[in-house]
Structure 1
């Protein structure tokens, strides 16, 4: 009986490869993309820096919240004492204007906040969007109609306006990074995930193996877990990989506007709030968090696109064809040069 329930592709194609074989194919396709590998290395380094923030700041002998008034020239309006914004053996990247807080410590701890908020928001977005999308796709006409309309409302909801309103009324006692992650997740991201999952579910539920499971008396929950989730894994993982850089940008924007992470908790967006005022006196105060944001978002975007290609056999095939054509063109040019 189980042989009849084995997943089959449309048109009577053989069953999909095992999970181990699929993982090997994924890594092979990902390794074929040099840009994705470089981006993965950059992301891994950023995550390592965020996790090792206490160790790194201990090596420097500083922390992200201690003030150093002796390193600030109050007569000049709070400019750091010394050249290049106070860079020295004790402060590897200088100090923050007006406060004297160590910039290196705030930068590496800011990576913890930015990446943590983005990853937390992405998890909530994927779980909520997956649940709503599968429920709408497998439910009856009225369930699908109600859930689809709710999803449409959140799709049309402007992120920044709603986030500003929600973050402004929540008491300060609530952990701010957790609150920012929840607001980003609930206001945006999950709704587009739900619409994508619903469309995939409507396609998958008409396949033979799902129909066979339904005729065998399987419950809706069992069908969703055993038959639908394996088919939804690739598009959901791809979309989640692209959500992370968007969530990092959203957190930075909210912190820049003053409603995100509150001082003294460090955040890259928060560091940019007043950095433009001190650009000439301490240029690294603006350039360091801006560069960290740019590199992180760019690396995650490239990695997300690489994951999409590795999970999509059609995209991988196009990639191989394009690479083959480039090789043929280079070979032709070399032959012509020899002639």
Structure 2
């Protein structure tokens, strides 16, 4: 504990605080959730695929930008030649209609863009939200009022409308994935993080060890780093884990609307935009990026919920499935109850009560 706590403890003040769960306890609680472990394995596989995209495409012998006009049937409007969109030894998932670009290469490179944009936006959202929330919670009433009103304004901003407006005025030479990540981070997410951190800061600053550090003359920055941030770690990590799937969906929506990542850079949302007219002639062109988005967002959501429950054992999972409910029902059935033949004791007479 800090030096300030020693002085307060000597004065007789109770400075005991509940200990935060350590890494061993967190891992033990997370392992008890099978759905979270499966989701973590899926997320790890997706990240590995995104990082190894150049190696995987080199093994296939393809790249995401090369056109293969000989693999499409121009007489039928550009439909891939062959079954299942031209699936074969040279093209593991077939080729795109009209262009003939390799689908597998575009999917794995699209994973790099989608995951990179969402993770970058999450880092900016968490950093900005924690800074504003802590400053608002520890500052005076004027600082708190100004920062709270600014946060409320950003909470009310519609993400898609603001993103469409900002993306339309930025020069085309600016790197599009970086621009999309910055806009998603600045328009949404950080304001909700700031409100959550402010509420937690207002609670933590009234605890003995935080009050002692402030009374001992520590600066606001030192108090925030040494005393508040360790207590804020659990809720911030939990919220960050739930922000990632939201940011993936936002990037896909912007790319689907045509204002996100621009060709020839592949993106899952961009692939869905090009596939909306091919769902009958070449359904795999629509199903593959849609399935990749669904699996990624679902796995991230389940993992985020598992992290939240592991960090806060008092919280119940919002994604409980039938196995958990059956286990609870068996526990209630096995719990001892009153004997069926038990006769309640008669009430005492008025003379006895007197």
**TM-score, normalization: structure 1?**
0.91
Distance 1:117 1:317 in 2: 28
Going from structure 1 to structure 2, the CA distance change for 1:66 and 1:39 (only over 3 Å counts) comes to same
Residue 325 (structure 1) shift = 3.4
- Name the residue aligned to 1:135: 135
- Name the residue aligned to 1:336: none
- Name the residue aligned to 2:68: 68
Note the alpha carbon deviations across 1:151-194, whole angstroms, 9 max, x for none.
00000000000000001111111000000000000000000000
Bigger CA drift: 280-289 or 121-130?
280-289
- Residues 4 and 213 in structure 2, CA contact (< 8 A), matched pair in contact too: no
Residue in structure 1 matching 2:331, options 325, 328, 332: 328
Q: Which runs of 5+ in 1 are unaligned?
A: 333-339
Note the alpha carbon deviations across 1:34-68, whole angstroms, 9 max, x for none.
11001000000100110110111001000001111
Residue 283 (structure 1) shift = 1.3
Residue 330 (structure 1) shift = 7.0
- Name the residue aligned to 1:24: 24
Structure 1 or 2: more helix by fraction: 1
- Name the residue aligned to 2:281: 281
- Name the residue aligned to 1:335: none
Superposition pairs for residues 297-316 of structure 1, below 5 Å? 297-315=297-315
Distance 2:317 2:37 in 1: 18
Distance 1:15 1:58 in 2: 55
Going from structure 1 to structure 2, the CA distance change for 1:294 and 1:217 (only over 3 Å counts) comes to same
Residue 106 (structure 1) shift = 0.1
Going from structure 1 to structure 2, the CA distance change for 1:86 and 1:216 (only over 3 Å counts) comes to same
Note the alpha carbon deviations across 1:101-130, whole angstroms, 9 max, x for none.
000000000000000000000000000000
Residue 277 (structure 1) shift = 1.1
Distance 1:232 1:2 in 2: 17
- Residues 2 and 213 in structure 2, CA contact (< 8 A), matched pair in contact too: no
- Residues 15 and 209 in structure 2, CA contact (< 8 A), matched pair in contact too: no
Distance 1:13 1:225 in 2: 19
Are 2:233 and 1:225 aligned? no
Residue 14 (structure 1) shift = 3.7
Are 2:110 and 1:118 aligned? no
User: What secondary structure does 1:315 align onto?
Assistant: coil
- Name the residue aligned to 1:235: 235
Distance 1:165 1:227 in 2: 41
Which structure is larger by alpha-carbon Rg, 1 or 2? 2
Distance 2:171 2:79 in 1: 34
- Residues 39 and 300 in structure 1, CA contact (< 8 A), matched pair in contact too: yes
User: What secondary structure does 1:273 align onto?
Assistant: helix
- Residues 64 and 101 in structure 2, CA contact (< 8 A), matched pair in contact too: yes
Residue 313 (structure 1) shift = 2.6
- Residues 255 and 270 in structure 2, CA contact (< 8 A), matched pair in contact too: yes
Residue 13 (structure 1) shift = 7.2
Note the alpha carbon deviations across 1:269-297, whole angstroms, 9 max, x for none.
00000212112222110000000000000
Distance 1:235 1:220 in 2: 21
User: What secondary structure does 1:171 align onto?
Assistant: coil
Residue 83 (structure 1) shift = 1.7
User: What secondary structure does 1:182 align onto?
Assistant: helix
Distance 1:119 1:12 in 2: 41
- Residues 85 and 281 in structure 1, CA contact (< 8 A), matched pair in contact too: no
Residue 305 (structure 1) shift = 0.4
Residue 317 (structure 1) shift = 11
- Name the residue aligned to 2:269: 269
Residue 75 (structure 1) shift = 1.6
Distance 1:38 1:285 in 2: 27
- Name the residue aligned to 1:198: 198
- Residues 110 and 267 in structure 2, CA contact (< 8 A), matched pair in contact too: yes
Distance 1:154 1:224 in 2: 24
**TM-score, normalization: structure 2?**
0.87
User: What secondary structure does 1:168 align onto?
Assistant: helix
Distance 1:327 1:45 in 2: 35
